[in-house]
Amino acid sequence: MASAQSVEMADKSYFYWRGGLGVLLGILVLVWPGLTVLTLVTLLSIWLLLVGVITIVEGVGSIKKGGLGWLASVLVGLVELGVGAYLVQRPALTTLTIISLLGLVFVVQGFGYLIRTFTQRGTTSGQRMLSLVFAALSLIAGIWLWRYPFHGTLAFVWLLGLYLIASGALLVAIGAEVKE
């Protein structure tokens, strides 16, 4: 039988893994800004598939906490998983389509974290603040990508890399706030 302490540890490791993956991918994107769209789609597809699975598992694991935060996590995970699977199947998509789909993921992710911020029980004020910052960052990045899809692949790559590093660092900080 799992104790409440082991559930908290699972939540903490979730934030560390997801944040670490985001920071690592963000650094890779910034180090090699000349990646082809095909390579970028492959990396993003793998990232979305991994993050989608991790988010779904985290959502299902937090059902016992109560509230509707678990449902938001599962829905966000399903969108991430669906977009990742779609991109794996169609690597020759245009840059505009890729940017629009990623913008959708960022917007849904932002709304998911916004909902979780106010519905999940047992969170500290620090966790709520970091979750709000993460939600705002996701929403801003998603809306920006929808608004300015033609500003070039390089600008998109830099925005994506910076977003991944910043959101990954925020997720690691959220994990550090989780009580043991």
pLDDT digits (tens, 9 = 90+) for 138-172: 999 888 877 877 665 677 778 888 989 999 999 89
Block residue for tokens 């603040």: 129
CB 77 within 8 A of CB 55: yes
Count of structural domains, the chain: 1
Q: What confidence tens digit (pLDDT) does each residue in 82-115 have? A: 988 888 887 766 567 777 788 888 899 999 989 9
* Per-residue CA distances from 50 to 65, 139, 143, 167 (Å): 24, 21, 23, 16
Residue bearing the bigger pLDDT, 24 or 144: 24
Give Cα 8 to chain centroid, integer Å. 20
pLDDT for residue 7: 43
Question: Which of the four pLDDT bands, split at 50, 70 and 90, describes residue 21?
Answer: very high
Cα 12 to Cα 83: distance, rounded to the nearest angstrom: 26
Block residue for tokens 């608004």: 147
Cα 126 to Cα 169: distance, rounded to the nearest angstrom: 14
Q: Which range of residues forms the domain containing residue 172?
A: 4-177
pLDDT for residue 82: 92
Q: pTM for the full model?
A: 0.53
DSSP 92: T
CB 145 within 8 A of CB 100: yes
- Average pLDDT of 36-57? 83
Question: Which of the four pLDDT bands, split at 50, 70 and 90, describes residue 116?
Answer: confident
pLDDT for residue 145: 79
pLDDT for residue 133: 92
